[in-house]
Amino acid sequence: MRILVLMGGNSPERMVSLASGEAVAAGLDKMGHQVLKLDPAMPEKVYTIDQMIFEGAIGEIPHGKHACLTIEQINVLLSSIKKFSIDLIFPMLHGGWGEDGRLQALMELAGIPYVGSGPAASAAAMNKRMSKQLFSAVGIPTAEFFCLPLESVHLAPGYCDKLGYPLVVKPVHGGSTVGLTILHNPNNLERALELVKEQNDDILVEKYIPGREITVGILDGRGMAVVEIIPKDGFYDYKHKYTSGQTEYIAPAEIGDELTEKVIEYSARAFQAAGCQVYGRVDFRLNPKREFYCLEINTVPGMTAASLVPKSAAALGIEFHELVNRCAVTSVNLRRC
């Protein structure tokens, strides 16, 4: 197939997206596909597999801001897809319009096959408030929470006191822990709220679940291996995710067969509850009582060398190039367009 990998974009997760896109393109190339690459934020140039859009480290500080594509950029993107007779789009755009269903809706309106979940599922998964409501509706445990629109942020201190510390403050639609703060008391609440406001997003506050961080990669709607994430210090923030040596990963996680089976079952249930398709990732916290709580679904998860879905797949013997090829083939066979 002739596959166009979309990477970069203009969300705060731009650098991660570029790294993910390069990795996916290389994997698809290894499987014999004809691969092209394009950054929708600068869509005038289409890159071949031998031309690198991104080289180097992701860095510790997120770059870019949320912004929509202009009409001109959309037209150039669609023209390139037509010009190069693209068979399939592989979106590797993390955050913003690349992950929240808008790009997926555009591809469906244009009649272009693409990899991953559809518009409605993407929107539901990206909206942490909506996805947590879906979890509760199908009996999946999730942390207590409240949400506030930006214009009501002044109400947050009272709600936080009522919910009780420690708490996690984060954007409703964010990713890669951008704008996320763990608060053990109200002292830094004002700064935590400012970090969310910088993302121009609504605010979600949830009870902090002490214990272990685990995640499950999803492929073809089924859970793969459970991966435990152990940051060297602090919590699994942007720095620990994308800086080599800052985090230890155990795959499969050493949580016992019975709990492993249950977490994998609930990861698939969460994925299906949101209507997600093809591949993704479901994140959990496991408290000291061995009770797990679902945090969120990622429909366009990171696919870098340090990313979690490839680690989950590798624990089952699925190599990276096989993983991305299965995502591509499954998506084409959905025949949504």
Residues with a known catalytic role: 13, 176, 242, 281, 283, 296, 298, 302
Axis-axis angle for helices 102-109, 119-126 (nearest 10): 170
Strand order of the β-sheet with 34-38 is 46-48, 34-38, 2-7, 88-92
Element (H, E) at 207: strand 203-207
Q: Give backbone dihedrals phi and psi of 280, rounded to 5 degrees, phi first.
A: 170, -160
Helix (H, G, I), strand (E, B) or coil at 6: strand
**Distances in whole angstroms, Cα of residue 335 to Cα of each of 93, 102, 110, 176, 275:** 22, 19, 14, 31, 16
* CA 269 and chain centroid, separation: 17
Q: What is the dihedral of CA 214, 296, 148, 130, to 10 degrees?
A: -150
CA atoms within 13 A on the CB side of 303: 33
CA atoms within 13 A on the CB side of 115: 29
Q: Which amino acid is at 54?
A: F
Q: Rounded distance, CA 337 to CA 327, Å?
A: 17
- The runs of H, that is alpha helices, within 10-152 are 14-30, 71-83, 102-109, 119-126, 128-137
How many CB atoms lie under 10 A from the CB of residue 59? 13
